[in-house]
Chain A
């Protein structure tokens, strides 16, 4: 792929602008959060062109934004954020992606590293067996037609009602684990068929379960409120999404909306950006279906949480209460949300597309759980399986600049094929083992594709967001055991 040679204007050390004049049709400039060093690799692919393309969306306000984990996607760049006016702007399914409500959930424990290290192989084996993972895997829940409608209407609440988790889990899940406006009638039969056998499965690719240990605490007061008290404490991170149901919803609506684009005569540089006015029937139908897929994903992470808890109880021979495997938070990083922002002195209702970006609301925001009112919403930023992950909190600055959004992970730098050419699964497993990280993988080639070398260093990504003021670092954790889908 060709290098991107377009114009970038330096605003400060962490902010770079693509002028609106770069391409005729751009309605706003692009704004990229990155260090000068990171831009070198970002320019090696076409993700910045995608930032410029997103600026074509009718009703977009402020900037077409990109977080420092930006990389080349389809339609939107991954790491992209775009806010469009609800009144006269559009919703683009491509700005959410095929894996609707792909997201991360973090749990804390009372366990310490030494205790878990002694049984890590057993723990991973249990997790690997009890949480179905990999390509073509089927879940333990065989949801019938009626039950699927319940899942996609209620989200994580459905799971808790079935005994998979607690009310407290829902309180610390974005949207309480159930996005409003879900209408099962707007989800195709095909999507439900795909979702039915996959409920409660991890999936493949970059999805994972990760047992981690706290390595550094930057803000002890804030961390304590999250239940993270000391270095050496063990955490569990879950990363997955809406599986085939979400993929089918996206495919169905990109297809429908491509016709709408012609009808409304919307000028777009990329077909994958297909969109419809937020207030149109088509736009509303997509949003109702997207909410269903988002709910499916929350139910999915909730079921997986329950089975993971069972594994911990079995392996450590303690009660769940003693283990203290309690949720810190659950965030969506592929989603569109209706939110309200102050833009140029006016209060605007916006549709915020987060495509590989995390919501990052500050302390005091009405939409965050009461437990976190004083500290701000926890932001979960996983890195690759060989480096580390971060927990941060949202800031006022993010509300002013980035529509309450921040990065979502490390971001790839090497293609999956390039990563596979570099190393084999066994080499990656051996190398990780030498650094105290045990792995299980469901898919052939999965470890090689997900090796550290294929990713940017998440520490650099988080540092840019922290320095730019979009979030505040709270905790750094390193992996000790990983189950890859």
Chain B
């Protein structure tokens, strides 16, 4: 099963992430976002961060989750490449993110992602789950 697709958007960029379970779709959405930021094959799994977020509903939780990761990227310089969503409800999420601190000598950085937005935001259950997000880049 593929992890995600890119949505073409003129100024910005979007993703649809998939998962047999919702937890997996959330994890894949985060993975997709970091593929926009850096070439993840060069990134090692040497640091781990615990992430806990809350939001008013399931869709907003996607935005809160992704923006929390962008905050950690900005402040601590962590490029995440793998995610384990441990607990997930309609309004809260607990997860672990694994990755490495930015090393400009080894890492190939691509576009900056400013934020995950609420525009066209959707969480759907079909054959498995999908999460759609548009980013401001």
Interface string of A448-481 (1 = CB under 8 A from B): 0100000000000000000000000000000000
Chain B residue with the shortest CB-CB distance to A99: B114
Chain A residue with the shortest CB-CB distance to B39: A444
Interface string of A84-104 (1 = CB under 8 A from B): 000000000000011100000
Q: Is the CB of B115 within 8 A of A412?
A: no
Q: Is the CB of A190 within 8 A of B110?
A: no
With A247-B70, A416-B137 known to touch, is A272 a contact of B118 (CB < 8 Å)?
Answer: yes
Interface string of B101-122 (1 = CB under 8 A from A): 0101000111110110111110
Q: Is the CB of A203 within 8 A of B112?
A: yes
A41 to chain B, nearest CB (A): 10
Checking B74, B79, B102, B121 against A271 with a beta-carbon cut-off of 8 angstroms, the contacting residue is B121
A258 to chain B, nearest CB (A): 7
Checking B74, B111, B120 against A205 with a beta-carbon cut-off of 8 angstroms, the contacting residue is B111
A136 to chain B, nearest CB (A): 5
- Residue A75 interfacial (CB < 8 Å): yes
- Residue B67 interfacial (CB < 8 Å): yes
With A1-B9, A418-B8, A443-B111 known to touch, is A136 a contact of B102 (CB < 8 Å)?
Answer: yes
We find that the number of chain A residues with CB closer than 8 angstroms to chain B is 50
Q: Which of B10-18, B24-32, B81-89, B124-132 lies at the interface with chain A?
A: B10-18
Checking B6, B37, B38, B71 against A248 with a beta-carbon cut-off of 8 angstroms, the contacting residue is B71
- Residue A446 interfacial (CB < 8 Å): yes
Q: Is the CB of B115 within 8 A of A98?
A: yes
Question: Of residues 181 to 205 in A, which have CB atoms within 8 Å of B's CB atoms?
Answer: 190, 193-194, 197-198, 203-205
Q: Which residues of B contact A74 (CB under 8 A)?
A: 12, 117-120, 134, 136
Q: Is the CB of B74 within 8 A of A72?
A: no
Q: Is the CB of B8 within 8 A of A1?
A: yes
Q: Is the CB of A247 within 8 A of B114?
A: yes
- Residue A229 interfacial (CB < 8 Å): no
Q: Which residues of A contact B55 (CB under 8 A)?
A: 255
Q: Which residues of B contact A1 (CB under 8 A)?
A: 8-9
Q: Is the CB of A416 within 8 A of B77?
A: no
Q: Is the CB of A72 within 8 A of B109?
A: no
How far, in angstroms, from A271 to B104 measured CA to CA in the complex? Answer: 37
- Residue B92 interfacial (CB < 8 Å): no
With A204-B112, A258-B118, A272-B118 known to touch, is A412 a contact of B10 (CB < 8 Å)?
Answer: yes
- Residue B75 interfacial (CB < 8 Å): yes
Question: Of residues 132 to 172 in A, which have CB atoms within 8 Å of B's CB atoms?
Answer: 134-136
Interface size class of B (residues with CB under 8 A): 35 or more
How far, in angstroms, from A72 to B9 measured CA to CA in the complex? Answer: 7
Q: Is the CB of A135 within 8 A of B110?
A: yes
Q: Is the CB of A445 within 8 A of B111?
A: yes
Q: Is the CB of A255 within 8 A of B70?
A: no
Q: Which residues of B contact A205 (CB under 8 A)?
A: 111-112, 114, 137
Q: Is the CB of A190 within 8 A of B71?
A: yes
Q: Is the CB of A444 within 8 A of B134?
A: no
Question: Of residues 219 to 263 in A, which have CB atoms within 8 Å of B's CB atoms?
Answer: 244, 247-248, 250-251, 254-255, 258-259
How far, in angstroms, from A143 to B110 measured CA to CA in the complex? Answer: 26
Q: Is the CB of B8 within 8 A of A251?
A: no
With A97-B136, A258-B60 known to touch, is A274 a contact of B102 (CB < 8 Å)?
Answer: no
Q: Which residues of B contact A198 (CB under 8 A)?
A: 74
How far, in angstroms, from A414 to B111 measured CA to CA in the complex? Answer: 16
With A74-B119, A443-B109 known to touch, is A415 a contact of B60 (CB < 8 Å)?
Answer: no
- Residue A214 interfacial (CB < 8 Å): no
- Residue A108 interfacial (CB < 8 Å): no
Name 21 A/B residue pairs within 8 A (Cβ), A-sorted. Answer: A1-B9, A47-B10, A74-B117, A74-B119, A74-B120, A74-B136, A75-B117, A78-B11, A98-B115, A135-B109, A135-B110, A136-B104, A190-B71, A190-B75, A247-B114, A247-B136, A255-B63, A258-B56, A271-B59, A271-B119, A418-B8
Contacts A204-B111, A417-B6 given; 19 further ones with Cβ under 8 A?
A97-B136, A99-B136, A135-B109, A135-B111, A193-B71, A197-B74, A203-B112, A205-B114, A205-B137, A247-B114, A247-B115, A251-B115, A271-B59, A272-B119, A412-B10, A413-B10, A416-B12, A417-B8, A445-B111
Chain B residues at the A interface, C-beta cutoff of 8 Å: 6, 8-13, 37-39, 55-56, 59-60, 63-64, 67, 70-71, 73-75, 77, 79, 102, 104, 108-112, 114-115, 117-121, 134, 136-137
The 8 closest A-B CB pairs, nearest first, are A74-B119, A204-B112, A271-B118, A135-B109, A244-B74, A74-B117, A272-B119, A415-B8
